[in-house]
Amino acid sequence: MAEAAQSTRKKIIFSGIQPTGTFTLGNYLGAVKNWGPLQDEYFCYYSIVNMHAITVRQDPKLLRENTLAAYALLLACGIDPQKSVAFIQSHVKTHAELSWVLSCFCQFGELSRMTQFKDKSAKHPEDINAGLFTYPVLMAADILLYQADLVPVGIDQKQHLELARNVAQRFNSVYGNTFTLPDGYIPKLAAKVMSLQDPTKKMSKSDENPKACIAILDKPETIIKKFKSAVTDSEAVVAYREGKDGINNLMSIYSAVTGKGFEEIEQEFVGKGYGDFKVAVGEAVVDELRPVRERFDELMKNKDYLETCYREGAAKAEAFSQRTLDKVHKKIGFFAK
């Protein structure tokens, strides 16, 4: 399949998601939902990036469970392992190997400027480890190993993506054309879904307040309850405007799941209060997520199938990425044993 991708010059996509908990509505709308429809047009590599997850301390048993569940969720969200290469990052050793090489082409200063590093260091002051600092180098390796043309991500990953591009450009300028320069593929809507409890903060899997985020496997009644308690304002007018962060967030979510534009939504809720609007958003999200939950439950009953898929995915990912790594090793002066 890798050869086919090369010879027909089908564009290549890479993206990943951390198994740090059940995907949120933010992960889903900003990233994973958009991955499925790309499978026919592009050659896609999608990964559960468990090596990134250990930059924050994880319970080993839970990480194992979350990794398998995240893989099943990936398929439940529409990734077809026959069309795409779906794999678990730690199964493919080239990621760590290229990451080391690229870390020698990445400056301390540029890593120090990464906002995710600053945010996560502030959140975990007791464990500001080197992996947290070099996280974007591993992400650059993930992308560049597959010669990805496009990387579908939420807007929070834009800075890391730019760094990957800079590292690739730097390497290419020294050793000649080696890596494809990747572009971001950021959705127009819901590129940054905000917390339901603090709409100035992004919705995150690891938020300590469970009311702040919708996990895509939440029960319908839990989803409705969380939307009902979402923080808004005291104006009681459903309108997309500066300063109405809570309502803007709910309108973006509603728009992303129903396909309705902001004006249409404003018209729909003229003369109605926030209560009606919140329930409508909740119900639309429940409808959107129902098939994902049903498919996930089915997949988790068939662990053998999941194992076959992730093993095959890893073999395909390794075969393709090894070629990039061999090329890199040759260019920098390593020779084969």
Q: How far is the CB of 8 from ligand AQP (least distance, A)?
A: 27
Phi, psi of 16 (to 5 degrees): -145, 165
Strand partners, 48: 17, 88
CA distances from 198 to 21, 100, 287, 292 (A): 20, 38, 25, 27
**Is 205 an active-site residue?**
yes
202, 244, 278, 316: the catalytic one is: 202
Compute, in degrees rounded to 10, the torsion defined by CA atoms 72, 40, 38, 164.
Answer: 90
Closer CB to ligand AQP, residue 79 or residue 193? Answer: 193
Helix axes 60-76, 303-332, angle to 10 degrees: 100
Q: How far is the CB of 256 from ligand AQP (least distance, A)?
A: 10
Comparing CB distances to ligand AQP, the nearer of 31 and 299 is: 31
Minimum distance, C-beta of residue 153 to ligand AQP, in the bound complex (Å): 3
- Closest C-alpha among 207, 184, 185, 93 to residue 145: 93
- Which lies closer to ligand AQP via its Cβ, residue 187 or residue 220? 187
Which CB sits closer to ligand AQP, 26 or 36? Answer: 26
Count of CB atoms situated within 10 Å of the CB of 11: 16
Rounded least distance, CB 204 to ligand AQP, Å: 3
HSE (side-chain half, CA atoms, 13 Å) at 216: 30
To the query of whether residue 301 is one of the catalytic residues in this protein, the response is: no
Catalytic residue among 120, 244, 278, 316, which? 120
Q: Quote the least distance from Cβ 105 to ligand AQP, whole Å.
A: 23
Residues forming the site for ligand AQP (CB under 6 A): 17-18, 20, 24, 26-27, 30-31, 153-154, 156-157, 191-193, 202-206
Of 10, 83, 158, 205, which is the active-site residue?
205
Alpha-carbon span 129 to 127, nearest angstrom? 5
Question: What is the spatial distance between Cα 269 and Cα 280, in angstroms, rounded to a whole number?
Answer: 10
Provide the token pair at 257: 């799941």
For ligand AQP, the closer CB: 153 or 265: 153
* Backbone region of residue 21 per phi and psi (left: phi > 0; alpha: psi in -120 to 50; beta: other values): left
Output the six-digit token pair for 13: 């996509």
Q: Find out whether 185 and 217 touch, Cβ atoms under 8 Å.
A: no
Element of type H or E holding 185 = strand 183-185
120 labelled catalytic: yes
Cβ of residue 86: shortest distance to ligand AQP, in angstroms?
Answer: 15
| Nearer residue to ligand AQP within complex by CB, 54 or 237 | 54
Contact (Cβ atoms closer than 8 angstroms) between residue 183 and residue 192:
no
The set of catalytic residues is 120, 202, 205
